Amino acid sequence: MKTWRQLVAMTASSVGLACGEFRSPAGPHVVVLGIAQDGSHPQAGCERACCKKAWADPRARHYVSSLGLVDPLSRKRWLFDATPDLPAQLHQWKPGGSPQSIVSGVFLTHGHIGHYAGLMHLGREVIGAIGIDAFAMPRMQTFLETNGPWSQLVKLRNIVIVPMVDHQPIKLTESVSVTPLLVPHRDEYTETVGFSIAGKAKRVLYLPDIDKWEQWSSSIEDVIAAHDVVFIDGTFFGEGELAHRTMAEVPHPFISESMTRFARLSAGERAKIRFIHLNHGNPALDPQSHEAAQIRAQGFAVAVQGDAISL
């Protein structure tokens, strides 16, 4: 896996390969398809400095948080979250093939717009997919089956719901499995999970949303220790990043809080951590910012769009 500095040197900004294709290692691997919070970057209605550059320069933009999983041997691939940026993410990921084989399935973390709204592109108005697995927890399944337009996807079998159970592994191929991990979040419509993605050699954690680490029944430090690469909630760096709104409405562990908590970890453990799901106002989206430099100085990193991790 390339280092953060090597990746930045290859690109004009942390958008990574926004104007080109994502990298594809030979064996089973995970690809970072996006790193922004639900509203993308730049975000609708924002003309502040945090978005002004991104409106003017496509290279400074970031897609909504998502991972792709590929097993070349079985010629299958899966999405983690279906984002509003799905068309561009699929185009750059180059799945190819017929509409029904564009992806084998989608693992859904929860029912906030940045994580499931992209399912609309699988419907009859766009791809017209046939039988794509939608891996969902119980409340997420009920939400999709009983609320339009998502219920139409189920009725027309554009998607086929595959139920998930907390901490129960799902074996996708001989070499790849995925385990959902229930976490506390603003669960207005559905429960929320992160995912442990396991290959034969490495394990990757995808946990873009959680309220606060101390509210989780699991120890985040133990979870980090059990994985080789850890993509965790980096929505906000600190206070004051939401204009005209109280941040208490959108609870997340600040990056600054996480770095303080994880400071006692070894250098090797800190190096596993990649902050993902960054809000449009998060200064760490800019690799030249003081905040991004502070993250690197303390041994952490911000996820890089286009990065690929071999499993």
pLDDT bucket at 12, cuts 50 / 70 / 90 = very low
pLDDT tens for residues 70-101? 999 888 999 999 999 999 999 988 766 555 56
Long-range contacts of 223-227 (CB under 8 A, 24+ apart): 223/181, 224/262, 224/265, 224/269, 224/272, 224/273, 225/269, 226/196, 227/196, 227/203, 227/272
The residue with greater pLDDT, 25 or 55, is: 55
Please, are residues 114 and 38 in contact by the beta-carbon 8 Å criterion? yes
pTM: 0.90
- Could you tell me where the beta strands, DSSP code E, fall in 23-129? 29-34, 66-71, 76-80, 105-107
In sequence order, which ranges of 106-205 are alpha helices (DSSP H)? 113-116, 138-146, 150-155
Domains detected in the chain:
4-310 (3.60.15.10)
- For a pLDDT cut of 70, what percent of the chain falls above it? 87
Residue 99's pLDDT is what?
Answer: 56
pLDDT tens for residues 50-63? 878 888 888 888 99
Find the largest Cα–Cα distance for the chain: 51
pLDDT tens for residues 213-271? 999 999 999 999 999 999 999 998 987 666 676 766 677 899 999 999 999 999 999 99
* Section 60-67 average pLDDT: 95
The candidate with the shortest Cα–Cα distance to 285, out of 91, 46, 29, 23, is 46
Residue 241's pLDDT is what?
Answer: 62
- For a pLDDT cut of 90, what percent of the chain falls above it? 72
